[in-house]
Amino acid sequence: MKKEPFLQVSKRRNKARWQERLLIRFIALILALIVCGAVIVALVKMNPVDVYKAIWDGAMGSERRLWQTIRDTMVLLCISIGLAPAFKMKFWNIGAEGQILIGGACSAAVMIYAGDKMPTGLLLIVMFVASALGGMIWGMIPAVFKANWNTNETLFTLMLNYVAMQVVTYCIVFWENPKGSNTVGIINQATKGGWLPELFGQKYGWNVVIVLVLTVGMFIYLKYCKQGYEIAVVGESENTARYAGIHVKKVIIRTMAISGAICGIGGAYCSMIINGGVWLRDSVGGLGWISVALVIFAAWKPINVIYGSFIFGALRVLKYYVPKNTYAIPTAFFDALPFIITALVLVIASMRKNKGAHIPAHLGENYFREER
């Protein structure tokens, strides 16, 4: 009688190639356009193709509009890059909105109190460091509780968003200018202290360079560094990570520190770039929530986030330029579109994943280790 092997190993199915993953997102985008086209016909009785032409013109119709699209793309990309390592670790950081708010408040504080006391270069460095530290601390709070007491990070980070809103509200009351305006006004409008200078004649040039450097750095960190490997292992199984000798608590806290810091830098961009130096309670404008959808859309891969950011950034800009007299489309329609696209990506990806997923390719084949 043949002796049964002590161990059987089933080989995993090969992962989808990048072409397949790209195709899934392309199909989701087309389906979203079809669904939204049906909504347009039902609500305003207009030709969806004409509406989409106006949408394209709204986001890309002039150099100014194109650079506004690039501006929003870069801010979304920065925040999404911050969320990517946390989501890869399966730490559901829903608190990006709060981390952005705290980071923006820290950079605004530096602009207010040190705007006329430092040279521009040093001031910008201090602003970015302050915003990163603020976001880092805000991100580490739920990480410490998760690592030590296994609290639910989704609810924890969600609640911290509302705490951050109240912190910002207090700061606005304290810094209010002019009194009674409920805003801080345009910070350092006369001196432009803390405003990013132009690069190659473009107002948002430095924004593009800094965010692309962060994106490449995060790609290298997650794909080629030991810490990126640890993030992936912890995300797959904390027990496996512990068995492999990985300090899981340390990885959770460190990853959320990095995630919160980059989101905090995104908050500095919101105050300096999106709002032109104006800091107010709703400065973030839902960018944190859009970035959460974007990271899911991109399957938490930094490179995929780039084209997703461009799509979502264009959707943010075009709502201001689509002619309201010709196309009676509510602004809320464009606000909802990124989430519709993300939902369709999840549906299509789940359908593909579940198809045949319970039939391992090498089911029943015995594994015998080769002689060494």
Cis upstream peptide for 178 (omega within 30°): yes
Which pLDDT score is estimated for 59?
Answer: 65
Tokens of 64: 């100014």
pLDDT of res. 283: 64
- Are the beta carbons of 36 and 48 closer than 8 angstroms? yes
Which tens digit of pLDDT belongs to each residue from 79-138? 999 999 999 999 999 999 999 999 989 998 998 888 888 888 899 999 999 999 999 999
Task: Output the pLDDT for position 326.
Answer: 56
Strand partners, 186: 278
What pLDDT does 360 receive? 43
Q: What is the pLDDT of residue 177?
A: 73
Q: What is the pLDDT, as a whole number, of residue 279?
A: 57
Cβ distance 142 to 157 under 8 Å? Answer: yes
**Predicted TM-score of the model (pTM):** 0.79
Q: Do the beta carbons of residue 89 and residue 226 sit within 8 Å? A: no
Residue 362: its pLDDT value, please? 43
Helix (H, G, I), strand (E, B) or coil at 269: helix
The list of the chain residues with pLDDT below 50 reads: 4, 6-13, 356-372
Give the pLDDT confidence score for residue 138 in this predicted structure. Answer: 97
Question: Which pLDDT score, from 0 to 100, does residue 281 have?
Answer: 56
